[in-house]
Amino acid sequence: MTTYRPCYGCYTDPRGCPIREKMKARIKGLRLTSVNFSCTERIPLFSVGDRVSVEWEFSGEDRSFYGEDPEVVKFAATIIKEKRYGRYTLRVDPGESITGEGIGSDDLRLKGFATASIHRLKSLGEPGVRVCGVCHAVVGISNMDEECFSSGYTKQTGCIAED
């Protein structure tokens, strides 16, 4: 069975994708297990500004000492960008988890930004929010006056904090 890298995290159904079928016919008989190619028809499952929940395993010091299974916690986050097929950069909302375990984003040493694979993400069903393409600040969540990570906390031309 061959893995088609661009198809991972694509919104299009892989069984009906003409690009995938064309690539499948090209590599038939070559015994390849993974194929990476540039797909012009790829539609990412999540787009910039989408609100998602992200899962992390939290073991804590007590749980790991006693050999207990880690606890799965979920946090609300906003998609900042897609790094590579199915991996996303997120802006995690500050505060406690949305599942109510009393574990905050500070307990996981999250400094606002994180990277997660698509299998850890689920849509929250909330409307998308506006994200700055310069400083990656999220309207309604970020402190717009203090955040512009591209130049040491000074506003850049084109930053939405200027609006």
Q: What is the pLDDT of residues 95-118, one digit of tens each?
A: 777 776 667 666 666 667 888 998
Structure tokens of 118? 């698509």
Q: What is the pLDDT of residues 39-94, one digit of tens each?
A: 888 888 898 999 999 988 776 665 555 566 777 888 888 999 888 778 899 888 87
Question: What is the domain extent for residue 28?
Answer: 3-35
Strands 3-4 and 34-35: parallel
Enter the pTM of the model: 0.73
**109/135 same-domain check:** no
Same domain assignment for residues 72 and 104 = yes
- The radius of gyration computed from the CA coordinates of the chain, to the nearest angstrom, equals 19
Domain assignment present for residue 142? The answer is yes
- Residues 100, 78 share a domain: yes
Interatomic CA distance for residues 162 and 132, integer angstroms: 11
Is residue 45 in a domain? no
Alpha-carbon torsion angle 144, 147, 148, 152, nearest 10? 150
138 lies in some domain: yes
C-alpha to C-alpha distance for 25 and 31, rounded to whole angstroms:
12
Same domain, 85 and 62: yes
